Every structure is written in structure tokens, then in C-alpha cells.
Amino acid sequence: MEDESFKASPQEKRLKILASDEIKSIYARPRFNYEERIEYFALSHSDLEILEGFRSLKSQIHFILQLGYFRAKYLFFIFTLDEVEDDFQYIMEQHFDSRQIGGITVIDKQTRLKQQRLILELYGYRNCTKEERQELEQRARQSAMVYSKPIYVFRELVNYLTKHQIILPGYSLMQKVVSRAINSEQSRLISIIQSKLQASEIEDFKKLLADSTGLYEITQLKHEPRDFSLAEIRREIQRGEQLHPFYRIAQRLLPELKISNESIKYYASLVGYYSVFRLKQLTEWTTYIYLICFTYHRYQQRSDNLINCLIFRVRNYSDEAKSVAKERLQECHVEINENLQKAGQVLKLLTDESIAVDTPFKTFQSNAFKILPRQKLIVVANRMAKAVSLDETAFQWEYIDKLSRQFKLHLRQAIVTIEFTSTLSQDTLIEAVDFLKAAFKKGKPLKEFSSELFPVDCVPASVTSYLYAQDSKHQKQLLPDRYEFLIYRLLRNGLESGDISCRDSIHFQSLEDDLINDLRWQDKQKLMFDNNLTVLTDPILEHLSLLEQTLEQRIIEVNRRIADGENEYFQIKKRGKQVRWNLLYPQGVDLINSPFFDSLKQVDIGEVLYFVDRHCHFIKAFDHVLGRYQKQAVDERVMIACLIAWGNNMGMGRMGQVSDINYQLLASTSDNFIRLETLKEANDLISNAIAELSIFHHYDIDSTIHSSSDGQKFEARINTINSRHSPKYFGLKKGVVSYTLVANHIPVNAKIIGANEHESHFVFDILFNNTTDIQPEIHSTDTHGTNQVNFAVLNSFGYQFAPRYKDIYDKVSKALYGFKHPSNYEGVIKPIRKLNTDLIVEEWENIQRIMVSLAVKETTQSIIVGKLSAYARKNKTRRALWEYDNILKSLYLLDYIDSLPLRQNVQRALNRGESYHQLRRAISYANFGKLRFKSELEQQLWSECGRLIANCILYYNASILSNVFAHRESIGDVQGIESLKQISPVAWQHINLYGRYEFRKCSEPIDLDDIVRQLTQVQSY
């Protein structure tokens, strides 16, 4: 019986957390195919002992049925034998010799409950009683403080129940628990804001939403710079000045609210989603919470934008100076070589006997300079005498002198605006930066300051000679322009390495500021336990001892198998005294555009989306941005048109021209319904629906969901703040990267990143924030996805990291470690050095703290991973984490060398990612594939819409394959079944992605049964 305390009040609204398909996938009785019946209805010795305790045949049959369904979903179901006829028949044939039994009825409630009790005892599970529900309420409230999205809280509760082996309560109860937790969190926040927000501050926030002659002030603050041009950066600095007083308010209040950075980001995003009109409709205090979070997050974004501008421009200036210096050096070499011949003619004058002995030296000089001018002769003479050498660095600084006006104009304002700090207690670079800021604020040119006033302790000795010149009195004088640029360059290096930070920033805070605070860390054991970080809870000495035993045994075993010839794919090559080895790499692929689909008639992409919506109802995820219109149903055809316009890079204007829906309707529908939040939910619905199809788990690799992630480059036609140059991919243009997680061919998560950002920083981020039911166990990347921490991070969260290395010999030669000195090892594969386990033990608590911070979303995971994997950092904790990562990496390298199936699996997973990229490129065909979007948000919307279209194509293809599979299974076509398992759902030759779109036309809906009949007539694939 449901606890009275959990009953909803009449006023309590039913919270929508899951779509109907998602509810069904979790709570509905499983439908088994033949292979699943074999697995779930098999009986162990313990099962048979319990079975014998039931005398009647109907009780025994019901016990097996309940047991099988429980194994599949860890839930109990009420059913009649008619509803489970196929399962009933299988059990009769498998366990009771097909005895014909008539009149078997449903067992009584008492027997059913007894069987359920015995099954719970057998598997160590328990029902969710009153005490467990109270704990569930507490967990929900804790989760809501971390992240207030209902789906996040729901998933955290499911994880908690699974971990503690508690039966999942009914959906309505879960709705109530989640709803109360979110409402409680809202009430808690409002109560704090009401008591802490001052009257004058309330008036200031109201002004952000007040009508004005132009745009609302909050609307102006939402705008982000499109690029790093001077005008855009000046506007960003101005926005920072407007935001600064609100940021100070937020700094005072947010610690009182005790919400995570992820929640701050979420509340801030709502201001971006909602119009001013919608914000005014919210309760007053809720609006203040959102505005506080928005101004706090936006101010930190402004700091990031200015710092990124500094890094971008200093790098460009430096690269430009290096390029010019190389050209200048080459020109000098050419000029010297050209003048050598003339210099030889000058030398011949000295040996010319026809010249009179008493010829004046001036005459001799005059003749020499006619052959080669004085300055050119001096250069050649010095070169021949090696008195001086051409200095490329000097050429660089000469060019920097010419850039002085540019870097002063673009960088000084940013430097004055940002407050920098150092990881060191006394940092000479910060002293120099503060000196420059003070000078700039005074408005005096640097050349008016005495050289003795410039802080020079931070200047590297190798640069000192280039910063000084002799004045007319032959005294050394500091060159202020060069000094200024040097400080900018040192500052950039410090920011990229993590030695310099900015507390008013998101990406450039110090690592310590990104981690959970000391107060929360006092409860570290509970935090690790609650976040399923069980690997970290073992005593470190025991943990290292087990790793040592495993690693040392693997080194011996791998070398033995090589020596005995058992590893036949390991090839040793000798070239003289040099010995190298090589591994044979598999080349098997999952073919895209399989001939299997060739016989199908063309179908428009709009009809595919409409077909998928009829089965998945993904359009229901798109609710109206205004709450009062939430009951207003979106026009499905218009919505589909909008999604295609976004996803194929066409835009609403062009779609209005080539379709039967006008631009105004498309634009208003897009503005009202398409948001990142709704797109991600729609994508999750489709991904989960694909996972429910019978063909899905036949894409498992070695019976495991083996995912991969990789970045795909797209050129941007319009400059945006995150567009970057990449000559390899974009030539002289700019672009972005769509980083996608692909599991069993399905793109389950994606993220837009800059072309300058390292893909390895986002591997954990994209895995951990995957909200679909498709949860990988093994994850692969190419070499770009590897760094110094990903093995440790992913292992801590239960993932096996399995990258592919471009040069495995080179990697093993530099990155294989052991617990002993290298001299203690024999064989071809030897560690390069001994692991420093003392460092790991000493820093283990800090490593635990980093992992917990990642788990509780204290900050964006890619930010922490990026800082941890920065090569220039000398942080002791970072070095310990690298060392721990080396152990896990070494274990993987040994497995990779020793196991051909592992290498094949990794290659296969990566091939699937490449196949998806080809589909994704085909979808985004408009404007020659060059992105036409003006902001990072629009790029993200394009990415999610493109992923949604791809998901729809995959669902359509997988549905066809699943139905053909069922047909082949029904007729016992074993060969046909095996061939179907090899067919990739990544195919689009039978789908029309282009042309004129007619969404209003009442075309005949896709008939899946007819398609299956057509395909089953084909004799070969």
C-alpha cells in the first residue's frame, strides 16, 4: 500500500519526466525473442531448488515466468497466460517436455507474492518500503540541489535504487518524489532570496526587464561577440561593465543558495531560452533566481571571451612574427649567396698585379664598392668571418615592433578589465601585469616611465638581450613595446598551462577553484559511495597491490606469448642493429549504404521524420517556450519542416522558398518550440526507441555496447566566437568541430567545440552526460582522444577506455611502465621506467576529490580534464594522477598488443563513427556544407537538428531490418539472419534529402509491412 505521505495534494500538478515510450521501456513487461528466452528462462541449481517447492504445475510455470521477467528488468508484473503465450509455450517445451496441459489458470495473489519474495531473496533485492521511500525523498532533494532538471533527478534516483538493489517504485510515485524535490528546491531558493536580496538590488533587477526605447537591457546582455574584432571586444567590455554590479550581488548570494555550478548554468540558460515576456510571467522571486544565475554566468563568459581574445591574438602575432622572420632569414641567405661571387671579385683586386703599388687605398676602396656596395660587403665579410650569425629571433622582435599599434589597440583594454591570479604565492608575472595595468590607467605612454620601474624578474634570460637597446649615451634602455608584448606572451603561456588563472571566469579558474570545497569534502566517503565511485573507495595500498600483481603478470604473459609464437599477429622487423615490431591491424568495416536498401523506392526525408514520429512521438518533446501555451499542440508538418531547415543547414528563409510552408510560420514555430533542451529530449526519445528494436543488440561488439567518439570538421561561412582557423581542414577559413558519441551506430550525444580545442578533453564529458538508455561499457577514440588522464578518469566511472594509437610501437616505447626497474624485465616488451607509487599514495585523496568533483558536476568536466592534461602544469596532484593513469594505460597497451579481437573491436567501433560522419555530411548539404549560423547557440541547434534527422534515418532503417529479421527468424532462415546482423543501418541512398519539399501534401504514409514483403522476396543481400 502506498504511504500516505507520498500522496499528491489536489493542487499538486503531475510532473512530466518521461515520454510515454520511455515509461513503457522502463515499466512495461519485457517482450522476448527466442535468444532472450534461452537466456532469461534458463534455470540454475538454486532456481530448481525453489521451483521444487511449488507442487502444482501452474505455480511452477508462473514462477519461471516471474523469474525471467525479473532478471530482465528487476521488476514484477501481473499478467495472464494469454498475454505471455509465446513465453508460456517455450517454458512448456523446454522444462516440461511439451506436456499438453489444459485449464491452467492464473495463480492466486498469495502464491504470486510468495514467489516474488523468494525471487527477491535469491537476488538480494528488496521492495521500496516506507523507510526506503523516505530515503528516496532525501536523495531527490540532494540531486535537485546539484541539477534541477527532472530527468536528471529521476536518473539519479534510478541509479540509487539499482545500486542498493531496491525495486523501482511505480512511475506515479517517482513523479511525486521528483516533483516534490524540485518544488522543495525552488521553495528553498526563493526563501533565501527573499531574505537576502535587498530592496535596491530588486529595483536594479527589475530594470533589466523594463521597457526601453530600444532592446530590453537583458536582451542586449544576452548577445555574445561574433569574433575577436576590436568593435566586438569593446562591446563585450561594455557588457561586462553593465553586468559587474549584478555579478557582485550574485557572488554574495550564490554561496547562500548552495547550488552547483551546473545548476547555475542551467538556471542561466533559462534566461537565454525565455523571452522577456515569458520571464515576466514567472513568479517574481523565481525570475530573480534566474537573473542572478544569468548575470553571474554571463559575466564569467565575458571574462572567458576576453581571455580567449588575448590568447588568440598573441598566438597570431607570434606565429606571424615567426613566419616573417623565417622569410627574412631566407632572403638574407639568398642575398648573401648572391653577393659571394661579387665578394670574390673584390678579393681578386688584392691580387691584381696590374694595379700600381702606390695606388691610394681610397681608390682601391672605391673600385671595390663599385663591385659590391659597402653595407652588402660588410654583411658578406662578417658572414665569411663568422663574426656574426643571422638571428631569427631578432627578426621576430623587429616585426613585433611593427605590430605594436595593433596589440596595444586590441589587448590593453582586456588586460585592464581582467583580474589575474597565480597559483604561486608570489608571482613575478602578476607583478608585471599589475604594473602595466596601473600605467595604462594613468594614460601615460610606457616610454615615459623609467626603465628601473619595469618589473623584470619574470623576463627569461634568453629574451633579455632583445628587450634592451643603447641610447645616445650608450646606456642600456628597456624597449617598452617589446616588454609589453613579452608580458602578453608570458601571460598567454601561463593561462594555457594553468599557472595563471582568473577567478571571475569559467574556463580559466584555478583547478582548486573548480573542485568541491573543503566543507563538502569532509563527507568524502559518502560522496564517493553515492556517486558509484567504488573503485576509489578501496584502500589505496590494496588497490595498488592488486594493480601491481595484474600488470606484472601481464608483462610476463604477453612476452611469453610473443616468444612462443602464440601471438601470430605480432611481427618483429630487424634493420641492421635496429629492432622494431609491428602489429597487424584489422581493416573490417560496417559498410554504409548497403545494397540491401537498393531495391527500396525513394522516400522523402519529411516522410521519414513523420514515420518516426508516429512510432516514437518525439515531436511531443517540443513544448512551447511560453508556459501558458503548453497545451497548444505544434503542427507536426511545420515542426518537421523547421527541423529539416535547421539540420540541413538551409535556414528558414530558404526553406520558405523551396517548400509549401511560408517563412513567417516556419520562423515563429522555430522560435517558440526549438531549443537545445527540447532537441536533446527528442533525440533521446528516438535513440531509446532504436535501442528497443530487435536488431539493436545484434550491433553489440562482443556482447557489449562499445562506443566511440570523434570530431567532424565543418567550415563556418560566418565568423562566430568559437570558430577557429585550422589550415589542415579549412585552409584560410574558420570552422568548428561537431564532437559526437556513437554507440551501436546511434549518435547518442554530441557537442560543438572549437577547432582549436583538444578532443581528448571532451571524452568523459560526452560520455558522462549521455542521457539516453544506451550506456556504453567500452569506449574508443583515435589518437586525438587520448591524453594523460582519460584512462584514470574513465576507469573511475566504470568505463573501459580503449583508444586506437597511430603508432603503437612508438607509444609502447614511450608509455609502458612497470612496478620494477626496467633492468628486471626480459622479453621484447619492456617498461621504460618504474612507476612512482609513493606519489600516488601521497596524493590519493586529492585524486579522489577530483573524481568526485567531476561526478557532482561542480564544473564542466571538459574544463577540469583540460587543466589536468595540460603539459606545462607542475602541480603535484596532476603528476600523481598522470602516474595512476600510466598504470591503467600500461595494462591496456599490453592487452592491445596481445589481443587481435580487441584491436578488431576498437577498429570496428571507430569505423561506425566514421560512417555516421558521412551520413551527417550528407544531411548538412545546403550552402555547400558551410555553416551559415551567426552564434554558437545557433550552431548547437544545427548540430542537434542534424543529429535528430540522422537518428530518424537510423530508426527507419533499423525498423526495416528488425522486421525482416523477425520474418527470417519465423521461417528459420539461419543464413539470412546472420547476413542481416552484418548490415549497417547507416544508409541513405533510398531517402531523398534534396529538392522541393511538400509537407502539406497528403502523401501515402510509409507502409513498413509492404517494405518487408518487398525485401523478403530478394534472395540475396
Q: Average pLDDT for residues 1014-1018, to the nearest whole number?
A: 73
How far is it, in rounded angstroms, from Cα 1011 to Cα 731?
45
How far is it, in rounded angstroms, from Cα 515 to Cα 512?
5
**Contact present, 993 and 605 (Cβ < 8 Å):** yes
How far is it, in rounded angstroms, from Cα 88 to Cα 80?
10
**Contact present, 1006 and 611 (Cβ < 8 Å):** yes
Q: Average pLDDT for residues 317-342, to the nearest whole number?
A: 80
Local confidence band at 55 (pLDDT 50, 70, 90 cut-offs): confident
pTM listed for this prediction: 0.75
**Contact present, 6 and 170 (Cβ < 8 Å):** no
How far is it, in rounded angstroms, from Cα 172 to Cα 185?
20
* Confidence (pLDDT) at 6: 37
Q: How do 421-422 and 500-501 pair as beta strands? A: antiparallel
Cell of 316: 597570431
Alpha carbon of 777 to those of 797, 802, 898: distances in Å?
10, 10, 21
Cell of 263: 545548476
- The percentage of the chain sitting over the pLDDT mark of 70, rounded to a whole number, equals 88
* Confidence (pLDDT) at 2: 35
* Confidence (pLDDT) at 384: 64
Long-range contact pairs involving 452-455 (C-beta distance under 8 Å, separation at least 24)? 454/478, 454/480, 454/483, 455/428, 455/431
Local confidence band at 389 (pLDDT 50, 70, 90 cut-offs): low
Q: 474 pLDDT exceeds 90?
A: no
Q: 290 pLDDT exceeds 60?
A: yes
* Confidence (pLDDT) at 370: 76
Q: How crowded is residue 228: how many other Cβ atoms within 10 Å of its Cβ?
A: 21
* Confidence (pLDDT) at 8: 40
Alpha carbon of 752 to those of 339, 714, 855: distances in Å?
55, 10, 22
Cell of 781: 577514440
Lowest mean pLDDT among 459-463, 588-592, 807-811, 857-861: 588-592
Tens of pLDDT, residue by residue over 194-209, are: 999 999 999 999 888 8
Higher pLDDT, 637 or 474: 637
Q: 1005 pLDDT exceeds 90?
A: no
Mean pLDDT of the chain: 85
Count of residues in the chain: 1021
How far is it, in rounded angstroms, from Cα 871 to Cα 498?
10
Q: Which range is most confident: 7-11, 282-286, 562-566?
A: 562-566
**Contact present, 789 and 811 (Cβ < 8 Å):** no
Local confidence band at 960 (pLDDT 50, 70, 90 cut-offs): very high
Q: 575 pLDDT exceeds 80?
A: no
Q: How do 468-470 and 476-478 pair as beta strands? A: antiparallel
- The percentage of the chain sitting over the pLDDT mark of 90, rounded to a whole number, equals 39
Tens of pLDDT, residue by residue over 878-917, are: 899 999 999 999 999 999 999 999 999 999 999 999 999 9
Local confidence band at 584 (pLDDT 50, 70, 90 cut-offs): confident
Q: Average pLDDT for residues 470-490, to the nearest whole number?
A: 86
How far is it, in rounded angstroms, from Cα 443 to Cα 556?
69
* Confidence (pLDDT) at 262: 75
Tens of pLDDT, residue by residue over 612-628, are: 999 988 998 888 776 54
How far is it, in rounded angstroms, from Cα 886 to Cα 875?
17
Residues 6+ apart with CB under 8 A from 560: 566, 827
Q: How do 734-743 and 746-754 pair as beta strands? A: antiparallel
Lowest mean pLDDT among 272-286, 403-417, 561-575: 272-286
* Confidence (pLDDT) at 705: 95
Local confidence band at 629 (pLDDT 50, 70, 90 cut-offs): very low
126: phi then psi, degrees, rounded to nearest 5: -145, 160
Tens of pLDDT, residue by residue over 494-540, are: 888 788 889 999 888 888 888 888 888 888 888 888 788 888 888 99
Local confidence band at 934 (pLDDT 50, 70, 90 cut-offs): low
Cα–Cα nearest to 629, from 210, 277, 289: 277
**Contact present, 752 and 936 (Cβ < 8 Å):** yes
Local confidence band at 7 (pLDDT 50, 70, 90 cut-offs): very low
Q: Average pLDDT for residues 689-710, to the nearest whole number?
A: 93
Alpha carbon of 905 to those of 699, 760, 763, 804, 1007: distances in Å?
12, 20, 18, 10, 36
Q: 11 pLDDT exceeds 50?
A: no
**Contact present, 753 and 779 (Cβ < 8 Å):** no
Q: 145 pLDDT exceeds 90?
A: no
How far is it, in rounded angstroms, from Cα 968 to Cα 105?
33
Q: How crowded is residue 853: how many other Cβ atoms within 10 Å of its Cβ?
A: 23
**Helix, strand, or coil (residue 698):** helix
Lowest mean pLDDT among 82-96, 215-229, 936-950, 983-997: 215-229
Higher pLDDT, 337 or 148: 148
Find cell 603508432 and name the residue: 807
Q: 258 pLDDT exceeds 70?
A: yes
Q: 318 pLDDT exceeds 90?
A: yes
Residues 6+ apart with CB under 8 A from 214: 220
How far is it, in rounded angstroms, from Cα 320 to Cα 407?
13
Tens of pLDDT, residue by residue over 437-466, are: 999 988 888 988 988 899 999 999 989 989
Alpha carbon of 386 to those of 372, 382, 383: distances in Å?
19, 6, 5
98: phi then psi, degrees, rounded to nearest 5: 55, 35
Q: 681: left (phi > 0), else alpha (psi -120 to 50), else beta?
A: alpha
How far is it, in rounded angstroms, from Cα 586 to Cα 588?
6
Q: How crowded is residue 805: how many other Cβ atoms within 10 Å of its Cβ?
A: 17
- What is the identity of the amino acid at 520? R
Q: Which range is most confident: 347-356, 551-560, 624-633?
A: 551-560
Higher pLDDT, 663 or 375: 663
How far is it, in rounded angstroms, from Cα 391 to Cα 589?
52
How far is it, in rounded angstroms, from Cα 711 to Cα 494?
27
Beta strands in 122-271 (DSSP E): none
Lowest mean pLDDT among 143-157, 344-358, 427-441, 961-975: 344-358
How far is it, in rounded angstroms, from Cα 910 to Cα 229?
38
* Confidence (pLDDT) at 1019: 44
Cα–Cα nearest to 133, from 102, 103, 166, 155: 166
Find cell 555579478 and name the residue: 247
**Contact present, 305 and 224 (Cβ < 8 Å):** yes
* Confidence (pLDDT) at 95: 85
Find cell 616488451 and name the residue: 829
Local confidence band at 12 (pLDDT 50, 70, 90 cut-offs): very low
* Confidence (pLDDT) at 429: 92
The rounded radius of gyration (Å) of the Cα atoms in the chain is 34
How far is it, in rounded angstroms, from Cα 16 to Cα 918?
36
